[in-house]
Amino acid sequence: MSFNNILCFGTLNPDLIYFIDELPSQGDDIRSSSSKIRAGGTAINCSELIVLWNKHVHVRGNSISEDPMGIYLTNHLKKNDIQYEDVIINDTPTPTCSIFVDSTGERTIVSSGYENLEWSNLENLNTFDSLILDRYSIQFIKDDLKNLKNENNLFICQAGYEHEINYKLDFLIVSKDEIDVKKANDLIDSETVKYILLTSSSLPARLISSEGNVEIVPPDFKTINSTGAGDATAAYIASFGIDDLTLTIKNACAAGAIVAGTNEKPTLEKIKEISALVDVNLR
C-alpha cells in the first residue's frame, strides 16, 4: 500500500553545516573549507522528499519563532508546499543545529535551543494514513504514544532510537550505532516493533523481523555527507509502505545512498536506477 497523506513529527530547525578536514582537538581553532545553511530537522528532511514524490505532507514538532531563523523555515515550508498549520509559533527563539562534516563524510552534530520549546500534539490524526516520528521528539510526546497505534489506523515509523520504546511501531529505522542487535531482537520478540532496519554508512544494512533477518548491500559509493540519509530511508518507507517489502527496502536504502553519496535529491527515477544495484541476501 502506498500512502497519500503523511505526517512528519519531529525536529524543525535550520541546519548550519560546516565542511572541515577533521574535528579540532580541545582548544584548537580551525576554519571550514565551506559552509551552508539549509532547512533541516527530521520532520523537514522527510517532508521535502515526500513532496518530491508527489504526496501530501504535513509537519508538526517543536515550536519556532518569528525571528529570522523561524521566518527562514516558514518561507521554505511555503515554497515547498509543506503544510505546517499545526506548528506552534511563539516568542521562544527558533532552535538551530550545527553540523560539522569531516573529509570522510561523517557528521558531528550540536543541537541548540531545544530546552524550552513547546511541542505540537498528536491529536486529530484521522486524516493521515502514515506517520513518521523522530527520536529527538519522543521524550516530549511519550505519554501520547502508548495507545497511538490502537486508537488510529496509521502506519507508524520511527527514525532513530534514543528513548525506551514502550509503544507499538510498524517500522523502526535506526543506525547500528544507536542500538545493538540484541536490543533490536528484544523489540521484535516482544511484538513492540514489527520491522527494524539497522543501517550503517559503511556496512550492509540489516532488516530484522519475526520472519528472519535479511542483509541489504548497497552499491559501493563514497559518503560525501550523510546528513539526511537516514531520513530519506525512513521517508521512503513511510510513503510507500511494505506490501512489497523487498522492493520497498531496496528503494529506501537506495534513497539513503543517493543522499549520502551525491547530496542530490533522490527522485523516483534515480531511486529506481540505484535500487537495481542493491543486493538482498537472506541470513
Rounded Cα distance, 7 and 127, in Å: 10
Per cent of the chain over pLDDT 90 is 69
Which residues does residue 209 pair with via DSSP β-bridges, in sequence order?
Answer: 195, 212
Cβ 208 vs Cβ 188: under 8 Å: yes
Considering Cα of 215, then 216, then 220, then 222, what sign does the dihedral take? negative
- The mean per-residue pLDDT over the stretch 87-111 comes to 92
Q: Which residue has 521517508 as its cell numbers?
A: 235
pLDDT in tens, 140-155: 998 899 889 888 889 9
Residue 120 above 80 pLDDT? Answer: yes
Amino acid letter for position 162: E
pLDDT in tens, 18-58: 999 998 888 899 888 899 999 999 999 999 999 999 999 99
Rounded Cα distance, 77 and 16, in Å: 17
Rounded Cα distance, 208 and 172, in Å: 10
Cβ-proximal residues to 138 (8 Å cutoff; 6+ apart), any chain = 145, 158, 162, 163
Q: Which residue has 540519509 as its cell numbers?
A: 229
- The mean per-residue pLDDT over the stretch 221-241 comes to 84
Q: Closest Cα partner for 140 from 62, 60, 44?
A: 62
7-21, 47-61, 220-234, 237-251: lowest mean pLDDT where? 220-234
Q: Closest Cα partner for 232 from 199, 197, 257, 207?
A: 257
Per-residue pLDDT, 276: 92
Using DSSP's 3-state secondary structure scheme, residue 246 falls into helix
Considering Cα of 53, then 256, then 107, then 186, what sign does the dihedral take? positive
